């Protein structure tokens, strides 16, 4: 696969970033795109039982992750934040192990990477992020949390309760909504009252910002500002990154049943990777050699990760009984004994 080329002859970004940072953004976003394609192929080949693509949301994820303080902050992802994991140097074979159903939450070290276990509950990462952030504030530590969720999750009660709790207690957390226009097959206008998720922040007494989620520079600047605000003790913020899911909701979904092809075409013309490439070319920050090298390195990394997760050994059956309870119950021990006896037959 070749990197997407820009359809817009006049690319724009909001804010500024150094040429070196822009090139880093491009490399990470491109690697995420190619790895995402490999993951979809693994699902089609039966290696993954299911997979959730991030195609089209690379700028929102990479830009937000790059703003984090890797020594102190913590990211709380859903099942779609593969590019966030990549940007935070998570062990990607361990990350994708969850999609292969080798281990719930992934086989990477969350504490080292500052990337919490994958959470497949809709809206689930949001209260977790608030709890962690409040702990940081009570300890007097400088860390901030970023909670990832989608436009569909914004309608969950857990998200509203977490926002209210965070605002009351001035928890240092950034609520980062990737509004990709579709809550599975339900469009924004059918499930987001008022048309804006960021506007809801006012009801909790916190700032809400809407940003172009396909502009990696704008996303990075907005998240950095929100983190600085939280770190200063001013409390939480809501950022709504407006982007688009270019692929299906998951590999079991058919967007052709509910989306207009013209809508998809318009958003493909705003592809975040092509857009960043156009900015780099226009401003003279990268040449053909850079793009060729970036594509070669990204492709090699994606293949290496693909092969690593494909060949990873499955866990032993005993792990079904591990970490269920801190102190195993007698009923659990009995189930484990019964399983062991059957396994040995």
Contact 172, 144 (CB under 8 A): yes
Same domain for 134 and 201, yes or no, is yes
d(CA 89, CA 152): 28
Which structural domain, as residue segments, surrounds residue 332? 317-345
Instruction: Pick the catalytic residue from 5, 104, 112, 258.
Output: 258
What's the total number of domains in the chain? 2
Contact 82, 301 (CB under 8 A): no
pLDDT at residue 330 tops 70: yes
Same domain for 274 and 323, yes or no, is no
Question: Checking DSSP bridges between strand 186-187 and strand 182-183, what pairing results, if any?
Answer: antiparallel
Same domain for 216 and 275, yes or no, is yes
Q: Which helix (H) or strand (E) holds 300?
A: helix 288-311
Same domain for 151 and 215, yes or no, is yes
pLDDT at residue 80 tops 90: yes
Domain membership of residue 204 (yes or no) is: yes
pLDDT digits (tens, 9 = 90+) for 228-259: 999 999 999 999 999 999 999 999 999 999 99
What burial letters (b/e) apply to 198-213, b meaning 16+ CB within 10 Å?
Answer: bebbeebebbbbbbbb
Instruction: Pick the catalytic residue from 114, 249, 275, 306.
Output: 249
DSSP single-letter state for residue 175: E
Instruction: Pick the catalytic residue from 33, 200, 220, 245.
Output: 245
Q: Tell me, yes or no, if 257 is annotated catalytic.
A: no
Domain membership of residue 289 (yes or no) is: yes
Average pLDDT, rounded, for the chain: 93
pLDDT at residue 345 tops 90: no
Same domain for 244 and 338, yes or no, is no
Same domain for 143 and 210, yes or no, is yes
Domain membership of residue 88 (yes or no) is: yes
Q: Tell me, yes or no, if 258 is annotated catalytic.
A: yes
Domain membership of residue 8 (yes or no) is: no
Same domain for 32 and 61, yes or no, is yes
């Amino acid at each position: 696969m070749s990197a997407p080329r820009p359809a817009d002859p006049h690319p724009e970004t909001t804010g500024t970033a150094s040429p070196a940072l822009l090139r880093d953004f491009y490399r990470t976003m491109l690697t995420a795109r190619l790895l995402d394609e490999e993951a979809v192929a693994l699902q089609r080949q039966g290696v993954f039982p299911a997979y959730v693509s991030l195609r089209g949301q690379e700028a929102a994820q990479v830009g937000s992750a790059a703003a984090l303080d890797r020594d102190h902050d913590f990211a709380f992802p859903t099942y779609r934040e593969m590019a966030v994991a990549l940007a935070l140097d998570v062990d990607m074979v361990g990350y994708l192990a969850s999609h292969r159903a080798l281990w719930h939450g992934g086989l990477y070290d969350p504490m080292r990477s500052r990337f919490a276990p994958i959470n497949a509950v809709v809206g689930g990462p949001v209260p977790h992020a608030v709890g962690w952030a409040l702990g940081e504030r009570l300890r007097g530590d400088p860390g901030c949390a970023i909670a990832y969720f989608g436009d569909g999750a914004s309608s969950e009660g857990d998200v509203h309760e977490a926002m209210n709790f965070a605002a009351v207690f001035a928890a240092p957390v950034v609520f980062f909504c990737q509004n990709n226009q579709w809550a599975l097959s339900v469009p924004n206008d059918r499930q987001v009252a008022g048309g804006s998720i960021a506007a809801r922040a006012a009801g909790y007494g916190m700032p809400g910002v809407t940003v172009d989620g396909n502009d990696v520079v704008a996303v990075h600047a907005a998240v950095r500002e929100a983190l600085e605000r939280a770190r200063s003790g001013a409390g939480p913020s809501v950022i709504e990154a407006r982007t688009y899911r270019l692929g299906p909701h998951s590999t079991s979904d058919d967007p052709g049943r509910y989306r207009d092809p013209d809508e998809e075409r318009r958003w493909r013309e705003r592809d975040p990777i092509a857009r960043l490439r156009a900015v780099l070319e226009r401003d003279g920050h990268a040449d053909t050699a850079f793009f060729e090298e970036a594509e070669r390195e990204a492709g090699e990394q994606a293949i290496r990760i693909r092969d690593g997760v494909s060949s990873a050994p499955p866990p032993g059956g005993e792990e079904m009984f591990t970490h269920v309870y801190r102190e195993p119950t007698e009923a659990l021990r009995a189930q484990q004994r019964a399983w062991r006896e059957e396994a040995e037959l």
